[in-house]
Amino acid sequence: MTENATVKNEVFSLDGVNVHYGNSLAVKDVSFPIYENEITALIGPSGCGKSTILRSLNRMNDLIPGAKVSGDVMYHGADIYADEVDPVQVRKIIGMVFQKPNPFPKSIYENVAFGPQTLGMKGNMDDIVEEALVGAALWDEVKDRLKDNAFGMSGGQQQRLCIARTIAVKPDVILMDEPCSALDPVSTYKIEDLMMKLKKDYTIVIVTHNMQQAARVADRTAFFTVSSNDEEGSRTGVLVEFDETSKIFSNPADQRTQDYVTGRFG
Amino acid sequence: MAMADAPKRSKAAMKAAASMTESLSGNADKSLKIRGMVFRSLLLFSMTIALIAIVAIISWAVVEGGQRLSWGLITNNPSSFRPETAGYRPAILGSIQIIAGVITLILPLGVGAALYLEQFANKERWYNKLIELNIQNLAGVPSIVFGILGLAFIVRGPLDLGFVAAAGSMTIALLVLPTVILSSREAIKAVPSSLLEGAMALGVTRWQAVWKMVLPAAAPGMLTGVILAVARAIGEAAPLLLVGASTFVTFDPNFWQDGYSALPVMIFQYAGRPQDEFKVLAAAGVIVMLGVVVIVNSVAVWLRARYERSW
C-alpha cells in the first residue's frame, strides 16, 4: 500500500473525520486516502456510516438539517469544508449517483442536458448529450428515442442515464451510493462493466452492500462497522480497515473484517 | 368433456368451502357480527345526512328557481321593481373581477410562501416555527374577521381604497391565502427529495434545482389547491358585506371605482325581500352559483387526475 501511495495521486485524503447528525455521532474518526483513477469501495453492515462518509465527500450532507462534518476532508490538498468553499462548486466537480435511479420527469435528452444547460456550459448541446450517453454506454439503446420520457426506461437504463447525467457536467470524481442495489444481475453487470471503463477518466468511490461487487470492481476497499455503546445507547460507525481489495478479501489484518467478508456477520 | 365439467365441479367445491367457513365462524362471532352491523349502519347514517342535505339544497333551488333559468338571469341588470326580469349581471361581473384579482394575488404569494417554508426556511429556527403555526391557525380564522381586517386596513386606513372590487379582492385573497399556502406545501412535499438531490448533485444551486425541477413537479398539485381556494372564494359573502359589496348596484362595476356587488351577496339581497318573485330570483341565483362551483371543482378534479404521478 505504501509503495502505491507514492506513485498514485491522492484525490481525497480524509483525516479524523467525524459526522454528527444533531447530537448523535454517526461516524467517528475516519481517516483514509482515495486515489486517482481507481475505484474505492466502502463496505460494511447497515448503519456503519459508509453512505454518510460518501455524502460528506461532496457536501451532500449539507442538505440534511443538523448534519455536521468535522475533521479534514481534503480534496487535492484543499479542505472542502473551508469557509470560503462554495458547496455548489464542490458538487459540480464531485458528482453523485444515487441508490434508487432518480431520473428527472423529462425526456432522456433533457435529463442529460439539464446539468450543462443550467450551468451554462459552452459547446453544442447535442454533442454534449451524445458524448455523455456514449460515455455511459447508453447511446446505442436510446439514440432513436431521445425525446421519450426517461421514466419509460428500464431500471438499469435509468441508472446509466443518471451516470450519463453526472458525467455530462464533466466532474472529476463520481460518487456512487449503492448504485446497483435496485437492479437485476444483468443490469448490475452492465453498470460494473461501465465503472471499469469510467475509471480511466474518473475517480470513483462506491458504497455497496454487495461484497462480491466490491471484490469484482474495487481497487481498494474500506471496511466500516458499527460500534455500539450500550450505556449511552448510541451506535457509531467506525472505519476498521482500509487496504487493497485483494488483501481485504483474502488476508485482512483485522478479525472483524475477516468475519464480515467470510459472511460470519452482517 | 373435462372442460364442461370443470365449472360445475368448482361451483360445488366453493359451496362446500363456504358452508365449511360458515360452520366454523358462525355462532362464535355472532356478537361481533352484530357490533359490526351497528357500526356500519352508524357510518351509513352519517353519510346519508350529508347526502340528504346536498340533495335538499339542490332540489329546492331547482324546484324554486328553475322557472327563472334563462340568459336574462345572467345578462339583465337587477331591479327592485321588476323581479320578473331582474338579473345578476353586475353581481356576476363583480364576482369575476374579484376572483381574477384573488388569483393574481394568491398565485405568487401562496406559491412563494410555500416554497420558502418547504425548501429554504430552516425549520429549527423559532421564527419559522412561529410562522408555520400562525399559518395553520389563520386557515381556521372566521371569514368575518378578515372582513373587518379588510375594512380597517384596505377600505380605510393605510390603503384607503374605498368600497371597490379591488378591496374585496384583497380581502378574499387574504382569507384564502393560508389554505393555498398549506395545500401548496403539501404539493411540494409530495415531490420526492431524490429529485432535488439529483439536481443538486450536478452542481446547480438550490434555487435552480427548486425552480427547474421541484416547482414544475409540484405545479399541478399547487394549481389544484388554488382552484379549490377559488371555489371557496366564489361563495364567500360575509367579508364582502363589510368591504362594500352590500350596496345595491345596477351598473357594471369597475375594479377601482366605488360600487360593486358579488353573486352570493346579491342572492342575499334578493332573498331578504318580501315578494315571492324575489325568492324565486334568489333560488335561480343559487343554481347559477352551484353551477359555477361545480365547474370549478371539476376542473380541479380533472387536473389532479390528469397530472397525478406516482414516483
Q: Provide the residue-wise pLDDT of chain A in tens; the chain has 266 residues.
A: 444 545 688 999 999 999 999 888 999 999 999 999 999 999 999 889 999 999 999 999 988 888 999 999 999 999 999 999 999 999 999 999 999 999 999 999 999 999 999 999 999 999 999 999 999 999 999 999 999 999 999 999 999 999 999 999 999 999 999 999 989 999 999 999 999 999 999 999 999 988 899 999 999 999 999 988 777 777 899 999 999 999 999 999 999 999 898 887 65
Residue B215 has pLDDT above 50, yes or no: yes
Distance from CA of A21 to the nearest CA of B (A): 14
Per-residue model confidence as pLDDT tens digits over B177-206: 999 999 999 999 999 999 999 999 999 999
- Taking an 8 Å cut-off on Cβ atoms, the answer to whether A119 and B205 are in contact is no
pLDDT in the model for residue B239: 93
Distance from CA of B204 to the nearest CA of A (A): 6
Helix (H) or strand (E) holding A29: strand A24-35
Residues of chain B with C-beta less than 8 angstroms from the C-beta of A103: 198
Any chain A CB within 8 A of the CB of B52?
Answer: no
Residues of chain A with C-beta less than 8 angstroms from the C-beta of B309: 105
- How many folded domains does chain A comprise? 1
pLDDT in the model for residue A5: 47
CATH 1.10.3720.10, domain B71-307, yes or no: yes
Residue B16 has pLDDT above 50, yes or no: yes
Q: Write out chain B in H/E/C secondary structure.
A: CHHHHHHHHHHHHHHHHHHHHHHHHCCCCHHHHHHHHHHHHHHHHHHHHHHHHHHHHHHHHHHHHHHHCCHHHHHCCCCCCCCCCCCCHHHHHHHHHHHHHHHHHHHHHHHHHHHHHHHHCCCCCHHHHHHHHHHHHHCCCCHHHHHHHHHHHHHCCCCCCCCCHHHHHHHHHHHHHHHHHHHHHHHHHCCCHHHHHHHHCCCCCHHHHHHHHHHHHHHHHHHHHHHHHHHHHHHCCHHHHHCCCCCCCCCCCCCCCCCCCCHHHHHHHHHCCCCHHHHHHHHHHHHHHHHHHHHHHHHHHHHHHHHCCCC
Cell of B310: 406516482
Residue B311 has pLDDT above 60, yes or no: no
Residue A125 domain-assigned (yes or no): yes
Average pLDDT over chain B, rounded to whole?
88
The answer to whether the beta carbons of residues B241 and B217 sit under 8 Å apart is no
- Taking an 8 Å cut-off on Cβ atoms, the answer to whether A88 and B192 are in contact is no
Chain B's closest residue to A111, CA to CA, is B199
pLDDT in the model for residue B9: 62
Per-residue model confidence as pLDDT tens digits over A184-236: 999 999 999 999 999 999 999 999 988 899 999 999 999 999 988 777 777 89
Largest CA distance in chain B: 91
* Average pLDDT estimate for B95-120: 94
State in Å, rounded, how far the first CA of chain B is from the last one: 49
Residue A120 domain-assigned (yes or no): yes
- Taking an 8 Å cut-off on Cβ atoms, the answer to whether A63 and B197 are in contact is yes
Residue A266 domain-assigned (yes or no): no
pTM of the complete model = 0.81
Residue B10 has pLDDT above 80, yes or no: no
pLDDT in the model for residue A65: 83
HSE toward the beta carbon, residue A237, CA cutoff 13 A = 26
ipTM of the complex: 0.88
A166-170, B15-19, B255-259: range with lowest mean pLDDT: B15-19
Residue B305 has pLDDT above 80, yes or no: yes
Percent of the residues in chain A that have a pLDDT greater than 70, as a whole number: 96
Chain A's closest residue to B307, CA to CA, is A105
Per-residue model confidence as pLDDT tens digits over B44-89: 999 999 999 999 999 999 998 888 888 888 888 888 888 888 889 9
Return the number of CB contacts < 8 Å for A and B: 70
Distance from CA of B114 to the nearest CA of A (A): 18
Residue B1 has pLDDT above 50, yes or no: no
Residue A95, classed as helix, strand or coil, is: strand
Residue A255 domain-assigned (yes or no): yes
Provide the 8-state DSSP code for A109: H
- Taking an 8 Å cut-off on Cβ atoms, the answer to whether A92 and B203 are in contact is yes
| pLDDT-based confidence at residue B18 (cuts at 50, 70, 90) | confident
Residues of chain A with C-beta less than 8 angstroms from the C-beta of B122: 65
CA–CA distances in Å: residue A172 to residues A38, A61, A146, A169, A176: 12, 19, 26, 10, 13
Per-residue model confidence as pLDDT tens digits over A81-93: 999 999 999 999 9
pLDDT in the model for residue B257: 85
Domain range for A157 is 2-261
pLDDT in the model for residue B310: 59
Question: The CATH number of the domain where A49 resides is what?
Answer: 3.40.50.300
Distance from CA of B185 to the nearest CA of A (A): 18
Any chain A CB within 8 A of the CB of B212?
Answer: yes
